[in-house]
Structure 1
Amino acid sequence: MTRRHVLRVWDALTDPDATWQPVLFAYVATVVMGVVTYAFPPTTIEGAIGSTLATIWAACMIGGGLIGLGTMFTPYMWLEKIALSIAAVGGLLVYAFVVGSLHASAPPGASRLTQLSVIFIALSAYWFRWVAIRKHTYAPRGHRRKAPSGH
């Protein structure tokens, strides 16, 4: 594999038009996760951070996901950057920190590394999207996302 091939793959991964469908799924999953977390907070997480912070954590996931969903068919990438920050930092990084703390204080033989790995896989979707849109305030001309047509 030559440098040219690697750069072509990187360009494909960081093209806003090529990455919006997986990120749309990630926003939907974030909203669902936030709603479920709000309705049924995980007892170990709620015990570690308290019910108020668990509610704020769920609100960050719901808010970031909804704002992100709202920006998917608009050219306002500056607003999507805010959504990414809320969902990734307020939702997933807080979750990773709490799970990491629970792992560190767990008895020998207990592990939360699988859970941490899944969190970082989810964060990678947001990271790739951030890389794809970081240079843009608005969608570049010719790169407007269009809602799927009915035909």
Structure 2
Amino acid sequence: MDTWYGSKGVEVVFACGGGIYTSAAEAAVKTGGKVIGVDSDQSATIDDYKEGLTVTSAMKGLQVTIDNVLDAVLDNEWDKYVGKIENLGMESPDPAENYVQLPEETTQWDGTFTKEDYQKLVQRMYNGEYEVSSDSTTFPETEITATDYGSIK
């Protein structure tokens, strides 16, 4: 992964997939790159390699999920969940109450996108001002450049 950062021009790696963050973090330390964590706020773990290495983490709202299910159990409403498969996402204009979120306290906010901008964006998405399609068969009308560097060696 060193070559991704070093000679390919990659600045940030989204390290999704179990322990892959270790390779991304080690390479980022050597080359001055950055890492995006996954599933939970991984800043404490990734920043052990070097302070400030983690840009943010794409988090599953595990605490929200656990709280909601345990509340349902305590309220005798387990039948809402038992035997069901659900796609959980945005449930509230408050980012902390959603099933997907960014860690507000450890994300590296800057002058171009702030914590307040993130909070407003979540509110606008929740209120329907911005729509995020779940359609995976049609590509959005935008230009995306992606480079596949193949397997990590």
- Sort the TM-score into its range (normalised by shorter chain): under 0.3
Q: Which has the higher helix share?
A: 1
TM-score (norm 1): 0.28
* Structure with the higher strand share, 1 or 2: 2
